[in-house]
Amino acid sequence: MKAISKSQYNLSLQCPKAFWLYRHRRDLQVFSASQKKVMRQGTSFGEYMQGLFPGGTDINQEVSRFGEKIELTKVLLEKATHPIYEATLSCFVEGAPLLCMVDILVPGTHGWHIYEVKSSTSVKPEYLTDVAFQKYVAEQMGLTIESANVIHVNNQYERLGPIEIQKLGVIANVDQAIQNLTIDFTQEVLALKALDRNGQPNTSIGTHCNKPYTCGFKNHCWKEVPVKDSVFDLFPETQAFELFNQGFLAVQDIPDRYPFSGKALDRFTWNKKKELHINSQEVNQFLGQIQYPLSFLDFESFMSAIPKFDHSRPYQQICFQYSLHIQREEGGELEHTEFLDNAIGLDTRIPFIKQLIKDIGTIGSIVVYNASFERKRLEEIGENFPQYNAACQNIAKRMIDLYVPFRDLSVYHPDMKGSASIKSVLPALIPDLNYADLEVGDGGQAMQVFENMLNGVYNAEETQSLRKALLKYCALDTWAMVKLLEWLRNSV
């Protein structure tokens, strides 16, 4: 029988079908770019936290095959002289091999201390079963575990000079929390053995597909869900699954008299009738706020578990790019200016805000999409660099949020699929404009590309090409706002 790993056990808790697919059809597993980024970030933070317990041996650096990792770990466990990173533990329970890798295993006075490293900012419930499995395997091997711990990110830590690793990582003891789980691992293993040999379980899709993690087999299991006009397009997840469990998969399947209320009823009605809805009074009120010169502004940012610059915190959004379209007077020509940091490792925020202050001036409305993001970034820059605080406040106060009329359903088109994001609104109202053909097509991708630039991943030619792609993407964001505002004016 193939070994049951820690990750497989945790997968079985989320969904038994996912456990079976992982063991028999792993080729169906697909992860998004954002999921892969989280995984990489977790690995990077885990390696960084080894510095809390220096002088250890990294099993992954010494050998490559699992059999070799298990044997080397056994040798180091017998010596018990220094920490082991990625300690590879294995045992047999009810004839089934169990396998896990402990991020950091540290010798103590009477046994060993387990440290599981997570790049989140708190101890989440799913981490407890993770550590409990490790402790169980270790004890089945005859090891004494003095303590079990989770190391997570301290998002209140502000970097000033070299990283202070003891402040960046928080060690949380989880002994009592694990004890409270009262897991009978013998019965768990027997159940997993039966699940493995009995064929693919007929588990329906549900909220478990996204909790606690988005499942890598979701594309496979959701292949019967329509790509257009499904209940998952139009309704929040909980409500969508209520409808799905009642037998409604497509919006058109739902009876006209279904007891919806509020915005859900409005969206359902307009989608069912394939109607474009416009509340002219509310749109006119929104347009009445606009003062010239008129600017259209969009930021791009990146974040990292390990803060790269002084006066920054873990996972703080660090601005590195903006696009700005300016119309000096109504009906006037549009000017475009932009900024993209050169990614040479210096703090991106200083050149970013200095150039923005120069480009955007001190008067006139500034149109943004989902203003809370840009306002928060300006607030943080003003806090971190007080010399720019007044200018940041001036820019933030002038902002008008183009998201609002779509969020509040002043305007709704069925092709928006219940979403007010610009990626949904733009193709619904202005089909000629879209992000489909861009090399960089969304904010998450832009974030990853720029971080790779900072880390020197690309050669000179690739860097130059991707800089052009970043500029093109961000410019489309502000041009989209220009055209959406124009559409709103024409609609009323």
DSSP states of 370-391 as a string? SHHHHHHHHHHHHHH-GGGHHH
Q: How many CB atoms lie within 10 A of CB 171?
A: 15
- Range 57-70 burial, b when 16+ CB lie within 10 A, else e: bebeeeeeeeeebb
Check residue 442 and report its DSSP letter.
S
pLDDT at 193: 96
Confidence of residue 99 (pLDDT cuts 50, 70, 90): very high
Confidence of residue 1 (pLDDT cuts 50, 70, 90): confident
pLDDT > 90? residue 273 = no
Each residue's pLDDT tens digit, 367-424: 999 999 999 999 999 999 999 999 999 999 999 999 999 999 999 999 998 899 999 9
pLDDT at 123: 97
Give the 3-state secondary structure of residue 151. strand
Give the 3-state secondary structure of residue 85. strand
Each residue's pLDDT tens digit, 337-377: 999 999 888 999 999 999 999 999 999 999 999 999 999 99
Sign, CA torsion 141/143/145/148: negative
Each residue's pLDDT tens digit, 471-489: 999 999 999 999 999 999 9
- Distances in Å between the Cα of 229 and the Cα atoms of 165, 193, 224, 268, 271 are 49, 40, 13, 11, 8
Alpha-carbon gap, residue 377 to 358, rounded angstroms: 17
Select from 356, 229, 303, 299 the least CA-distant residue to 474.
299
Confidence of residue 32 (pLDDT cuts 50, 70, 90): confident
Return the H-helix or E-strand segment holding 13.
helix 6-14
Confidence of residue 231 (pLDDT cuts 50, 70, 90): very high
Looking only at the bridges linking them, the beta strands covering 84-93 and 57-58 are parallel
Residue identified by tokens 């329509």 is 226
Alpha-carbon gap, residue 277 to 416, rounded angstroms: 12
State the average pLDDT for the chain: 95
Side chain identity at residue 206, one-letter code? G
Confidence of residue 436 (pLDDT cuts 50, 70, 90): confident
Confidence of residue 447 (pLDDT cuts 50, 70, 90): very high
Each residue's pLDDT tens digit, 287-321: 999 999 999 999 999 999 999 999 999 999 999 99
pLDDT at 332: 93
Share of residues in the chain with pLDDT > 90 (%): 87
Specify whether the CB–CB gap between 392 and 398 falls below 8 A: no
Check residue 415 and report its DSSP letter.
G
Alpha-carbon gap, residue 483 to 485, rounded angstroms: 5
pLDDT at 83: 98
pLDDT at 34: 81
pLDDT at 468: 96
